[in-house]
Amino acid sequence: MAMIATVGLHFDSHFFWTSLLHPSSAFLQGLWATVYLSVVAQFLATVLGLVIALARRSKLSPVRALAWGYTWIMRGTPLLVQLALVYFGLAAAGIYRFSNLTVGPVTIPGEVQAAIFTFTLNEAAYMGEIIRAALGAVDPGQLEAAMSTGMTPARAMQLVVVPQAVRFVIPPLGNDFNAMMKNTSLASIIGVQELFLVSEQVSSVTFNTFEIYLVASLYYLALTTVWSVIQAVIERRIDRKWGIERTRWRRSASWSRRWSVIDAGLGT
């Protein structure tokens, strides 16, 4: 402790509270980048994940093998390595270099494009497995009944099976989105000005390393907390739509707490 005191380490409470309650414009821009990276990548990953899930259920073995191989590679390699490979590796190999893209009044930096592209590809592998499991949880008789009315398999899947699978997808999708918001910090390796990189830059200028990273941690915590509340609201609405009632917390026989989800038709 004496050694720590001699080097002059201390907590700058004024800097901490100022950064937390009155963040700079650069910090807010980094926060905004974290949010839009997460939202855009998760949306695209969900769409691509649905395609992968359907491919995994295909009757054509080459299609199933291709989808399985994609999932195996993307889930088996680190996201940080994938980011470096996509942004630096493709350019070094002369395959593709991400350059700034201007769409109307908006300019999308190359590193942001690479980050969204990589996050989408990585998350799609996980979403594919989530959606595949959700589709498998729907009674196969639902598809057969829909097709017996004259629907094509694709139409029956769209109108009957997928809507029922949504309620199985929402909880793990919400958890994955929480992870996505935290994983955006990895985009700092390719120069994306998101929350973590901005905090790192502030730290290098002010030398208030602990304070600024603590502020960043609290902002990440706020983002994930807000999303957890939104997810809970979505789940409750879907439960009501399907006639499922969520009861209050209650003690089990072993005095541990658990959340009970009881079919409304059965009662408590």
Q: CA neighbours within 13 Å on the CB side: how many for 153?
A: 5
Least confident window among 43-57, 81-95, 137-151: 137-151
Residue range 198-221: mean pLDDT, rounded: 94
Domain extent listing, the chain = 2-263
Res 32 pLDDT > 80: yes
**Among 32, 53, 35, 55, CA closest to 43:** 35
CA angle at 96 for the pair 94 and 101, rounded to the nearest 5° = 140
Give the H or E element holding residue 250: strand 250-251
Q: Which residues contact 70 (CB under 8 A, 6 or more apart)?
A: 52, 125
Residue 191 and residue 33 in contact, taking contact as beta carbons nearer than 8 Å: no
Residue 136 and residue 55 in contact, taking contact as beta carbons nearer than 8 Å: no
Q: Which runs of consecutive H residues, i.e. helices, occur in the chain?
A: 2-6, 13-21, 25-56, 61-76, 79-84, 90-92, 110-137, 140-148, 153-156, 162-183, 195-206, 209-241
DSSP character at residue 268: -
- pLDDT score, position 261: 39
Distance, in Å, from the CA atom of 244 to the CA atom of 266, rounded to the nearest integer, reads: 10
The CATH fold assigned to 2-263 is MetI-like fold (1.10.3720)
The residues facing 106 across adjacent strands are: 103
Distance, in Å, from the CA atom of 98 to the CA atom of 190, rounded to the nearest integer, reads: 11
Q: Which residues contact 40 (CB under 8 A, 6 or more apart)?
A: 116
Comparison of pLDDT for 63 and 268, the residue scoring more: 63
Residue range 231-243: mean pLDDT, rounded: 80
**Among 39, 25, 21, CA closest to 193:** 25
Maximum alpha-carbon separation in the chain: 81
Question: In the numeric block, which tokens belong to residue 21?
Answer: 């309650």
Q: What mean pLDDT value characterizes the chain?
A: 85
**Among 143, 241, 152, 177, CA closest to 44:** 177
The 10s digit of each residue's pLDDT in 77-124 is 999 999 999 999 999 999 999 999 888 888 899 999 999 999 999 999
